[in-house]
């Protein structure tokens, strides 16, 4: 009994020593997001003002928030914002069709130049996420101009207010200009607003403590390498849920993602479908829903005439380039694209051969399979694929565990290869095997 009491006491001591500073840092970070966005919401809520003034306030509050978080590195954000606006104006003089392609190429080239030549690695790691959000917004504006979704080119205040909006300039999520403009005019006054903010703040802090303190503790280093890989990958996923929930806090604080009766329709991720996945395809969709929508609308659909595999490959290539010229991110994203493509087609063949409801995505309309989703065979097959997906997630997520110095400067080629080599390249071998079986079926 004494040993048990001592174990419990040591456990709570560890959790408190880890949890208190973790919560302190998390809440201190949340404070700036919440204050900046609540101030913006109160001003546009209670003061009647012209259209352009609203965008100007968004630009000003977003600039202050960025400066307090990344300091003078904000000049790189301004550089990308101003440079792309001028470039869009210049391109619009000569063409009305190819602006999306040229802007996409120039934005990705700028990001790669910043990472490789212009900015030191430590500073780049601090602003990489912000630059990615800016890049997604810029590219979406250029492509929507090509699709004639704007009556006229955005003026500088509209463009700047959208790009640097405090609701999502730090953590995201991406929203289109039309959605942003609509949210600026939503008005509400209810206690439910505060309740939604506090609820999502609690979720984000809970995920942060899980990522930093609980998950690394409940599985020891002395267990099998696959359990260790699962632990490290799950800790990384929990940190992603923290960022996603905090991004909702930021959006809701500004009144974004709310209807006039103060109901939220904002979703960034779905942890349940990731921790207990049906397929890798669902993990890709629900990992970052706004990012998935952006890639689907602006990349995948554009490449569809060139075939499904080329569309998927291009989509994941663009995603990896937006994340930076980083072998780790590129390898993971391209591997996920390949694995999900193989799994999708393999499960389609299995469903046809066995007449069982086991597609990568569940049947939306009336299921025409002989063995429905609740049949014993369907449950068995889908459970088997779910287990394989969890193994894939452990395999792909394991290299995101590293020392703080490595995280600051970025992950190297050798770091990624060593992590996968330790797991015998299992998922890549399994994907190749499944693809061979698919070809023979």
CA angle 8, 275, 126 (to 5 degrees): 85
Task: Give residues with Cβ within 8 angstroms of 282, minimum separation 6.
Answer: 273, 360, 361
**Smallest Cα–Cα separation from 40: which of 56, 24, 23?**
56
CA atoms of 269 and 285, how far apart (whole Å):
9
**323 is annotated as an active-site residue:** yes
State the alpha helices, DSSP H only, in 254-375: 271-275, 280-287, 289-295, 301-303, 308-322, 327-354
- Compute how many other C-beta atoms are within 10 angstroms of the C-beta atom of residue 254: 27
CA atoms of 109 and 135, how far apart (whole Å):
11
**Which DSSP state fits 306?**
G
**Smallest Cα–Cα separation from 200: which of 30, 317, 344, 347?**
30
β partners of residue 356: 371
CA atoms of 337 and 343, how far apart (whole Å):
10
Give the HSE-up count for residue 292: Cα atoms under 13 Å, Cβ half-sphere: 14
Please give, one letter per residue, the 3-state secondary structure of 130-152: HHHHHHHHHHHHHHHHHCCCCCC
Got the DSSP string for 388-423? HHHHHHHHHHGGG---HHHHHH---HHHHHHHHHHT
Which of 55, 292, 323, 369 does the annotation list as catalytic?
323
Residue/partner pairs of 225-229 with CB below 8 Å, 24 or more apart: 225/422, 225/423, 226/391, 226/394, 226/423, 229/394, 229/395, 229/397, 229/398, 229/423
- Provide the annotated active-site residues: 323
């Amino acid at each position: 009994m004494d040993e048990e009491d001592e174990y419990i006491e040591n456990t709570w001591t560890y959790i408190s020593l880890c949890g208190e500073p973790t919560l302190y840092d998390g809440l201190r970070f949340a404070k700036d997001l919440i204050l900046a966005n609540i101030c913006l919401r109160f001003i546009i809520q209670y003061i009647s003002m012209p259209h352009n003034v609203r965008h100007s306030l968004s630009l000003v509050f977003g600039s202050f928030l960025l400066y307090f978080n990344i300091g003078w590195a904000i000049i790189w954000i301004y550089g990308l914002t101003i440079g792309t606006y001028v470039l869009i104006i210049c391109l619009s003089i000569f063409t009305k069709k190819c602006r999306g392609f040229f802007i996409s190429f120039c934005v990705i080239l700028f990001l790669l130049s910043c990472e490789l030549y212009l900015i030191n690695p430590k500073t780049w790691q601090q602003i990489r996420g912000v630059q990615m959000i800016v890049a997604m917004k810029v590219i979406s504006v250029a492509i929507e101009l090509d699709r004639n979704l704007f009556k006229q080119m955005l003026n500088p205040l509209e463009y700047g207010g959208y790009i640097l909006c405090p609701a999502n300039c730090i953590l995201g999520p991406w929203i289109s200009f039309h959605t942003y403009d609509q949210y600026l005019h939503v008005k509400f006054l209810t206690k439910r607003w505060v309740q939604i903010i506090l609820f999502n703040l609690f979720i984000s802090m809970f995920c942060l403590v899980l990522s930093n303190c609980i998950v690394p503790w409940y599985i020891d280093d002395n267990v099998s390498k696959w359990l260790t890989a699962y632990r490290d990958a799950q800790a990384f996923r929990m940190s992603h849920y923290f960022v996603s929930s905090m991004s909702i806090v930021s959006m809701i604080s500004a009144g974004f993602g709310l209807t006039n009766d103060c109901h939220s329709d904002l979703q960034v991720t779905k942890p349940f479908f990731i921790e207990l996945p049906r397929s890798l395809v669902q993990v890709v969709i629900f990992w970052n829903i706004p990012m998935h929508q952006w890639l689907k609308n602006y990349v995948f659909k554009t490449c569809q005439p060139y075939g499904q595999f080329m569309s998927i490959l291009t989509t994941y290539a663009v995603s990896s380039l937006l994340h930076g010229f980083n072998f780790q991110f590129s390898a993971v994203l391209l591997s996920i694209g390949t694995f999900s493509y193989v799994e999708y087609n393999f499960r389609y063949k299995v469903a046809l051969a066995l007449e069982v409801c086991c597609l990568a995505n569940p049947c939306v309309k009336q299921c025409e399979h002989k063995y429905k989703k609740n049949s014993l065979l369907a449950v068995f097959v889908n459970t088997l694929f779910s287990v394989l997906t969890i193994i894939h997630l452990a395999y792909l997520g394991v290299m995101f565990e590293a020392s703080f110095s490595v995280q600051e400067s970025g992950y190297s080629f050798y770091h990624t290869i060593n992590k996968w080599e330790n797991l015998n390249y299992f998922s890549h071998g399994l994907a190749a095997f499944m693809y061979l079986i698919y070809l023979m079926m």
